[in-house]
Amino acid sequence: MRTFFLFLFFLPSIHGEVLYDTDFDSFPAGPNNWSEIESWISNDTTSGAQSIDGNVLPALLNTATLGFTQPTTPFTFVALNLGYDHITSGKPIVEIDTLIGIEDSTNNRRDDFYLTIYNKNGNRLASVRFDNESPNNANSQFGIWRENGTTQFDTLFDFAPGELFNLIATIDLEENTWSISTDDVPIFENVQFSNTTSPINFGLLAFEWELTAPSTSNYGNNFLLVADINIQSFSRQPDLEVTFQINSLGEINLNWQTAVGWTDQVEYSSDLVTWFDDLPESTFESMDSPHFITFSEIKDPAISSRFYRVKRIRLP
């Protein structure tokens, strides 16, 4: 008789609350139009360094850009005043999902671009820096860096100038940790978010352009392009520990505790690739209070092996 393998794990599937979402199509095209719309602010509203463009990418409609033209100051930002209160909402996890790219300079001057989170007091908490220094320079810092407010770290990952990539930043405001991926490749995971003494909350999301030259006349005509932004908040996933027993008759018993506001679904597979959720009485909801449950299935002698998992889904 072949061994009956059992594989148990918890697969989260979370539905978040949308805090902000835009593809910039509702913004009027033109210079200086990224700011002063939908709670976006900027320290440069005259030079055209921040702009909404309708013809940068033919496949898209409007996109937001930062850079390209001479700014009024060596450090230019465009920031979304989100003012999110994760304590009141009870959802301490914030996910930023954005499609961005860095277009290289043609005037041989290259600068730095940032995605930065500030708290509601305007204190800088943490950043991702896209250093566009020429990779051919000696000791070049070209690539993606993370900053925790006091220290910078080389992630050892690069970006491809002129190409869009999907960046997802997941921030746990309670645990003071965050993770970043680009095109589903983890850049860093569960590292310290902010090393400052400032309160940890989500006040502003900023895109920033910092010249490497002290004078604005020596700006690089490189620029940051943002095609869309989606920001969602999530509650913390309740812990789930599944235990199991196999009795002498071959009956499988899975045991765990439900969580209020979540649905637990037992799924099975023969190859860990394709999963099914059509087992009888395999869906469990907890509306009022958590309770212990047991899911049972009698082993089919015709099945040599089967894998199980419990998928927890947030109730709408």
Kindly report, residue by residue over 35-52, the tens digit of the pLDDT.
999 999 999 999 999 999
Higher pLDDT, 5 or 257: 257
Architecture of domain 238-314: Sandwich (2.60)
Q: Identify whether the C-beta of residue 35 lies closer than 8 Å to the C-beta of residue 28.
A: no
Average pLDDT over residues 180-192: 95
Number of CB atoms found within 10 A of residue 171's CB: 24
pTM of the model: 0.76
Chain segment 98-113, per-residue pLDDT in tens: 999 999 999 999 999 9
Contact status, residue 196 vs residue 223, Cβ threshold 8 Å: no
At 273-297, the pLDDT tens digits run: 899 999 999 999 876 788 899 999 9
User: Cβ atoms within 10 A of the Cβ of 54, count?
Assistant: 15
Domain extents for the chain? 17-234, 238-314
Domain 17-234 = CATH 1.10.12.10:
no
Are 201 and 85 contacting, i.e. CB atoms less than 8 angstroms apart? yes
Residue 51 burial (10 A CB sphere; 0-12, 13-18, 19+)? buried
Residue 292, token pair as written in the block: 């212990």
pLDDT at 5 over 60: no
**Eight-class DSSP state of 80:** E
Render pLDDT for 58-114 as a digit per residue (tens, 0 to 9): 677 899 999 999 999 999 999 999 999 999 998 999 999 999 999 999 999 999 999
Q: Please name the residue that has the structure tokens 């566009």.
A: 132
- CA–CA dist 147, 114 (Å, integer): 10
Q: Look up residue 252 and give its amino acid.
A: I
Q: Identify the band that residue 313 occupies on the pLDDT scale cut at 50, 70 and 90.
A: confident
Q: Which of 119, 114, 212, 191 is nearest to 148 (CA)?
A: 191
Mean pLDDT of 120-127: 98
- CA–CA separation, 241 and 218 (whole Å): 58
What is the average per-residue pLDDT within 140-148?
A: 97
pLDDT digits over 243-277, tens only? 988 887 778 899 999 988 788 999 999 888 899 99
Residue 1 has pLDDT above 60, yes or no: no
Could you tell me if 36 and 46 are in contact, meaning their C-beta atoms sit under 8 angstroms apart?
Answer: no
Does the pLDDT at position 14 exceed 90? no
pLDDT band at 15 (very low <50, low <70, confident <90, very high): low
Contact 34, 227 (CB under 8 A): no
